[in-house]
């Protein structure tokens, strides 16, 4: 390769590197879900702004919190994003869900496995571990990071049979 060819290659490579980071942003803008886009309610009042887009999940930053919504929750018209909730209604819905998640992570609350089968109840909980009282009567401690609260109750990230086997050891 001559000096001219090498300079051309370096110039083209530099141009491609400079353009590459712009491609995902352009793709997001093409479907209307760009970070920074304003989200309005059906009356045209501000609800918040798009703060992140991750696949089919759009995070909307309201005046109080971040709400994760499915792309299907939005209507688009004239380049604007609309949701069927006012800012106050969205804040209230997210706060209600968060309260349900917290309430599900309490002593005495039932817990299901990753397949949806009830395995027992929460016997104790601290920053590092959750102790489960299994339906068999045995107790087992699992890492706190392996348990998630949810609006439909707490879930442990393992199957009932595996948890029972762990309790037997």
Phi-psi region of 113 (alpha: psi -120 to 50; beta: other; left: phi over 0): beta
Q: Would you say residue 155 has pLDDT above 80?
A: yes
pLDDT tens, residue by residue, 25-35: 434 445 779 99
pTM metric for this prediction: 0.64
Measure the CA–CA gap between 41 and 72, rounded to whole angstroms. 15
Tokens of 97: 């869900």
What are the structural domains, with CATH classification, of the chain? 3-100 (2.30.30), 105-168 (3.90.50.10)
On the 0-12 / 13-18 / 19+ scale of CB atoms within 10 A, 153 is middle
Q: Would you say residue 60 has pLDDT above 90?
A: yes
pLDDT tens, residue by residue, 73-124: 999 998 899 999 999 999 999 999 889 888 999 999 999 998 899 999 999 9
At 19 the pLDDT is 36
Q: Where are the alpha helices (DSSP H) in the chain?
A: 3-19, 22-30, 87-104, 160-168
Measure the CA–CA gap between 166 and 123, rounded to whole angstroms. 16
């Amino acid at each position: 390769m001559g000096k001219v060819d090498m300079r051309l290659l370096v110039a083209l490579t530099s141009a491609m590197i400079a353009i590459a980071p712009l491609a995902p942003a352009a793709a997001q803008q093409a479907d209307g879900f760009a970070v920074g886009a304003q989200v309005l309610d059906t009356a045209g009042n501000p609800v918040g702004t798009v703060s992140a887009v991750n696949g089919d999940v759009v995070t909307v930053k309201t005046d109080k919190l971040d709400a994760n919504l499915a792309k299907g929750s939005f209507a688009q018209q004239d380049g604007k994003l609309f949701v069927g909730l006012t800012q106050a209604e969205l804040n209230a819905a997210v706060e209600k869900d968060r309260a349900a998640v917290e309430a599900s992570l309490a002593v005495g609350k039932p817990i299901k496995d990753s397949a949806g089968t009830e395995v027992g109840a929460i016997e104790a909980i601290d920053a590092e571990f959750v102790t489960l009282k299994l339906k068999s009567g045995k107790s087992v401690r699992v890492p706190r990071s392996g348990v998630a609260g949810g609006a439909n109750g707490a879930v442990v990230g393992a199957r009932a049979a595996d948890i029972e086997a762990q309790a037997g050891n």
